[in-house]
């Protein structure tokens, strides 16, 4: 029987993931900058693959895993199976995020295989650990979605390991549609579904929105969850009859997700704030991604144009998820830091009032982060769509700057609160 007050892991667990993800965002931006030429001319080139995997592993998966280690026990009201395993997962994630892209970028090839194996072990540990709280019955759409999304994380890594060894063993040719199957399970099944599910808990809470019905969220999770395996199988086996229903289901689910956002905003009982700037910008990229995906599937274009459209779709999906992660980090990190500061006896903010989450970040910097991150992703998507190396490179550098801003802001805020709390105590 879980003891109230003990279901959440120590703050150092999620904060270590989130701090590493901040660094990962900057490294991702720099990797895009360096590999811009490869990304626009040959998206399957090892240099391009390295950049993409820095974004997927060092930034997005690290951040989402860290948040999941905090969020899942809170919602399920049951702790992780092991805090030690959570810490091992963090180390494994950092190792994977370094090994795999390094192997892609400059070899040796065995580094890719080593990264794949490390990633597989890490993800299996995370899945086992999260299965404790995820095995709680009920608890609504967020936990139902997380159960599926963690399953898709394991599937994504299974794809990755097979592909990593295939590079040496040459069991089958790594054709673009097979790589896309792997990418879409990861982007939509793991990261996308996690966000779609968790948003159903976080959005109403942050906006004090009590919707009369909240069916859109359940439909979103159900449709994305059901559509991803079909889409991935269709892409994997180049079977349009399977891929199409899957793609349509995922598309419909993402539309439900956007309708859910609109409903939450309509029924809000708080003014809109910085988080919602991130959410709206993120949602705009989702619309762009769906449009590029549909264009790539429907338009009678030549192969280079279709490749460009798909690259832009993947970039827009990364922008959707990236802006959502950065925005929510501005809520999650202050909350976790708040608990840690309270435990250290810091109870007042700079104004002398009780310590608030708002005391733990610098709002003008957060607004600047939104502007810089949105601009960076916009340039990256535009660069990918137009096959412009220079635009993509500038986009990457701008995203890297956003990573520095968000990491510095969220790291410095709690330290300032400690100083202010100490000053208030001494006075």
Partner 1 sequence: MIDPSTADPQAESRREAALAALGDVWDPELGLDVVSLGLVYDVRAEDDRVEIDMTLTTPGCPVSEQLPSEAESAVRAALPGVEVTVNVVWDPPWTPERLSPLALERLGFRRR
**4 binding partner 1? (CB under 8 A):** yes
Tell which one of 17, 28, 33, 338 touches partner 1 (CB under 8 A). Answer: 338
Residue 208 phi/psi, 5-degree rounding, is: 50, 50
Which residues within the stretch 256-315 sit at the binding site for partner 1 (CB under 8 A)? Answer: 269-271
47/31 Cα distance (integer angstroms): 9
Residues 70 and 47: their CA atoms lie apart, in Å, by 34
> Toward partner 1, which CB reaches closer, 180 or 332?
332
Residues β-bridged to residue 354: 348
Which listed range, 152-160, 281-289, 311-319, 348-356, lies at the site for partner 1 (CB under 8 A)? 348-356
Residue with Cβ nearer partner 1 (199 or 374): 199
- Pick between residue 257 and residue 328 the one whose CB is nearest to partner 1: 328
Of 121-129, 226-234, 311-319, 333-341, the window that binds partner 1 (rule: CB under 8 A) is 333-341
Among 240, 304, 354, 422, binds partner 1 (CB under 8 A): 354
CB of 313 to partner 1, least distance (A): 33
Per-residue DSSP letter, 299: S
Alpha-carbon distance of 293 to 387, in angstroms, equals 16
DSSP secondary structure of 206-226: HHT---S--HHHHHHHHHHHH
Residue 367 binds to partner 1 (criterion: CB under 8 A): no
- Residues 45 and 57: beta-carbon distance below 8 Å: no
Considering the complex, state which of residue 86 and residue 401 has its C-beta at the smaller distance from partner 1.
86
By beta-carbon proximity to partner 1, the closer residue of 126 and 275 is 275
What is the rounded distance in angstroms from the CA atom of residue 317 to the CA atom of residue 197?
16
Q: Which C-beta is closer to partner 1: that of 4 or that of 173? A: 4
CB of 139 to partner 1, least distance (A): 8
Cα(352)–Cα(421) distance, integer angstroms: 8
Compute how many other C-beta atoms are within 10 angstroms of the C-beta atom of residue 18: 25
In the complex, least distance from residue 198 CB atom to partner 1, rounded to whole angstroms: 11
DSSP per residue, 234-261: HHHTT-HHHHHHHHHHHHHHHHHHHHHH
Contacts with partner 1, 58-97, as mask; x by CB under 8 A:
----------------xx-x--------------------
Q: Does 138 bind partner 1 (CB under 8 A)?
A: no
Give the integer Cα–Cα distance in Å for 63 and 66: 5
Q: Cβ 308 to partner 1, closest distance in Å?
A: 42
**Contact (Cβ atoms closer than 8 angstroms) between residue 151 and residue 142:** no
Binding segment for partner 1 among 102-110, 188-196, 250-258, 330-338 (CB under 8 A)?
330-338
Region of 1-9, 14-22, 284-292, 384-392 interacting with partner 1 (CB under 8 A): 1-9
Under the binding rule (CB under 8 A), the answer on residue 353 touching partner 1 is yes
Backbone dihedral region for residue 107 (phi beyond 0: left; psi -120 to 50: alpha; all else: beta): left
* Residue from 343, 329, 337 nearest 360 by CA: 337
Residue closer to partner 1 (CB basis): 148 or 341: 341
* Binding flags for partner 1, 199-228, as an x/- string (CB under 8 A): --x--xxx-x-x------------------
Q: How far is the CB of 142 from partner 1 (least distance, A)?
A: 8
Q: How far is the CB of 249 from partner 1 (least distance, A)?
A: 28
Q: Of 291, 181, 187, 296, which is closest to residue 243 (Cα–Cα)?
A: 181
> Got the DSSP string for 315-369?
HHHHHHHHHHHHHHHHHHHHHHHHHHHHHTT--B-TTSSBP-GGGGS-HHHHHHH
| Count of residues that bind partner 1 according to CB under 8 A | 29
Task: Output phi, psi for 354, to 5 deg.
Answer: -55, 145
Among 106, 266, 339, 419, binds partner 1 (CB under 8 A): 339
CA dihedral 338, 342, 348, 349 (to 10 degrees): -20
How far apart are the C-alpha atoms of 192 and 224, rounded to whole Å? 8
Binding region for partner 1 (CB under 8 A) out of 93-101, 293-301, 350-358, 408-416: 350-358
In the complex with partner 1, the residue whose CB is nearer, 338 or 377, is 338
List all residues 6 or more positions away from 158 whose beta carbon is below 8 Å from its beta carbon: 120
Binding mask 100-119 for partner 1 (x = CB under 8 A): --------------------
Indicate which single residue of 169, 175, 299, 356 sits in contact with partner 1 (rule: CB under 8 A): 356
Chain residues that interact with partner 1, rule: CB under 8 A: 4-5, 7-8, 74-75, 77, 139, 142, 201, 204-206, 208, 210, 269-271, 332, 335, 338-339, 342, 353-358
């Amino acid at each position: 029987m879980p003891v109230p007050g003990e279901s959440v892991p120590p703050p150092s667990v999620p904060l270590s993931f989130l701090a590493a993800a901040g660094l990962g965002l900057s490294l991702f931006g720099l990797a895009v900058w360096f590999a811009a030429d490869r990304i626009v001319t040959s998206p399957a080139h090892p240099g391009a693959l390295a950049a993409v995997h820095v974004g997927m592993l060092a930034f997005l998966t690290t951040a989402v895993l860290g948040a999941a280690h905090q969020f899942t026990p809170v919602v399920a009201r049951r702790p992780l199976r092991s805090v030690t395993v959570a810490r091992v997962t963090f180390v494994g994630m950092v190792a994977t995020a370094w090994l795999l892209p390094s192997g892609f970028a400059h070899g040796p090839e065995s580094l890719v295989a080593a990264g794949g194996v490390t990633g597989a072990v890490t993800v299996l540990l995370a899945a086992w650990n999260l299965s404790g709280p995820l095995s709680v019955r009920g608890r609504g759409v967020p936990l139902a979605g997380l159960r599926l999304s963690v399953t898709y994380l394991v599937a994504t890594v299974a794809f990755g390991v097979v592909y990593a060894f295939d590079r040496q063993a040459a069991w089958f040719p790594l054709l673009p549609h097979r790589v896309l199957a792997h990418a879409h399970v990861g982007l939509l099944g793991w990261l996308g579904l996690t966000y779609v599910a968790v948003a159903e808990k976080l959005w109403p809470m942050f906006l004090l929105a009590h919707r009369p019905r909240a069916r859109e969220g359940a439909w979103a999770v159900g449709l994305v969850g059901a559509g991803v395996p079909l889409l991935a199988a269709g892409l994997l086996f180049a079977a349009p009859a399977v891929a199409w229903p899957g793609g349509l289901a995922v598309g419909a689910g993402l539309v439900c997700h956007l309708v859910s956002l609109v409903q939450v905003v309509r029924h809000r009982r708080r003014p809109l704030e910085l988080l919602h700037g991130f959410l709206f910008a993120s949602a705009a990229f989702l619309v762009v991604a769906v449009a590029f995906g549909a264009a790539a599937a429907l338009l009678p274009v030549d192969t280079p144009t279709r490749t460009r459209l798909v690259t832009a779709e993947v970039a827009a999906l990364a922008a959707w998820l990236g802006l959502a992660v950065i925005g929510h980090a501005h809520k999650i990190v202050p909350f976790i830091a708040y608990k840690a500061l309270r435990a250290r006896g810091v109870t007042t903010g700079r104004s002398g009032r009780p310590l608030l989450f708002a005391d733990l970040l610098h709002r003008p910097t957060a607004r600047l982060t939104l502007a810089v991150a949105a601009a960076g992703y916009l340039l990256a998507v535009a660069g990918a769509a137009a096959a412009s190396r220079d635009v993509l490179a500038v986009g990457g550098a701008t995203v890297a700057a956003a990573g520095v801003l968000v990491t510095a802001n969220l790291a410095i805020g709690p330290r300032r609160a400690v100083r202010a709390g100490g000053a208030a105590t001494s006075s």
